[in-house]
Amino acid sequence: MQTAMLDVQKIREDFPILKREVNGKPLVYFDNAATSQTPKQVMDVIVDYYSRYNANIHRGVHTLSQEATDAYEQARVKVQEHFNAAKPYEIIFTSGTTHSINMVAHGFGSLLKKGDEVIVSALEHHSNIVPWQMLCEQTGATLKVIPMNDRGELRMDAYEELLSANTKLVFCNHISNALGTINPIETIIKKAHAVGAAVLVDGAQACPHVKPDMQALDVDFYVASAHKMCGPTGMGMLYGKEEWLEKLPPYQGGGEMIETVTFEKTTYAGLPHKFEAGTPNVCGGIAFGAAIDYMNAIGFGTIAHYEHELLEYGTKKLLEIEGLKIYGTAKNKTSVISFNIEGIHPYDIGTIVDKLGIAVRTGHHCAQPIMDYYQIPGTVRASFAFYNTKQEIDALVAAVKKAKMMLT
């Protein structure tokens, strides 16, 4: 597929924050895996909502309520079309990936029993580990783990050995937030379905870089956060196949998710409202749709091609620093580089490069089992987005060299 050239300087004009200084230095923002920055096109949508038609939705007959309802539901359709879900009501709006995962885990609390098995991967974020541990404690099911190798790749031979007739659920991230590894989710889904298990894919780290197709993947559940995709915080989505969403009980009770309420009995609304109790983040949903429009206008093929250039350039330049080791060298990975310098704590490096205006993440990145595997306290993580430049990577390399000089 041919991709268009990305005019990064023109793109950077859309992001006001990139013009600011930190500690007297131009901001270099390399913490995109934690949260991406927001373009003014999305900010304008947020201001427009609160300036012109801020209202509660689905319940009002007045004009503002109808306008807000229409915009919110149009955003749901944008998300549906972006992810190629079969129906709009297979998209549930949530507060983010963690909320989405917990909704599914709560639902399966009434479906699992002792003797059932659930599988997670060794590359998971804590939010795709802890809910399943809680679920297993509640139901008596057993949690099993797909191991990883030194390159930060899942051992697919071991995955096949873990699968059995007792496997009911498999959970895996699409891309590792800590290492950038792109997991073979097509194979994971297919093999899980062969034993009758459902699959949830954590797409939080994938959606800024690729455009997942729900129907082509045949995945049962897929979750994502808007703030990783140039959208607002506190907004995300749960995709679920209609048949699975119908099986799961509501996550919360309250307004909007009901059909009828009496003191004797309550009946629940249909999808998607069954899972959307209370007043939603109306503005967040509308802004999520605007962020998807923005990224699609650039093109995910163009984004992926450019970010791969940044990954290759950054990897080459950082490895020129003596004593620097990169963790996560999978054949298929996205624009994330996790590294350490021998004898130096990652926090110390992060602190010094921040003084030079460069934002990186240090620590275990909510993926402590990965750090335990490598027997390290954490890493320095530089994560690149389509609005970053090779010149910024040069600034990072110079800053890391200075930190090394100061700390050794």
Question: Is residue 100 packed enough to be buried (19+ CB in 10 Å), middle (13-18) or exposed (0-12)?
Answer: buried
Place of tokens 């889904």: 189
Place of tokens 């460069």: 358
**C-alpha 175, offset from chain centre:** 8
Provide the residue count of the chain: 408
User: How far is residue 73's CA from residue 58's CA, in Å, rounded to a whole number?
Assistant: 10
User: How far is residue 334's CA from residue 279's CA, in Å, rounded to a whole number?
Assistant: 36
Q: Do 293 and 229 form a contact (C-beta atoms < 8 A)?
A: no
Q: Do 390 and 21 form a contact (C-beta atoms < 8 A)?
A: no
Q: Do 332 and 181 form a contact (C-beta atoms < 8 A)?
A: yes
Question: Is residue 12 packed enough to be buried (19+ CB in 10 Å), middle (13-18) or exposed (0-12)?
Answer: middle
User: How far is residue 208's CA from residue 152's CA, in Å, rounded to a whole number?
Assistant: 20
**The pairing of beta strand 25-26 with beta strand 21-22:** antiparallel
Place of tokens 């996550």: 251
- The verdict on whether 366 is a catalytic residue reads yes
Q: Do 129 and 159 form a contact (C-beta atoms < 8 A)?
A: no
Place of tokens 């991709």: 3
Q: In 13-117, which residue ranges form alpha helices assigned H by DSSP? A: 40-52, 63-83, 97-108
Beta bridge pairs of residue 142: 117
| Cβ-based neighbours of 186, under 8 Å, separated by 6 or more | 217
Instruction: Say how many Å lie between the first and final Cα of the chain, rounded.
Output: 47
Q: Do 89 and 246 form a contact (C-beta atoms < 8 A)?
A: no
Q: What amino acid positions are annotated as catalytic residues?
A: 366
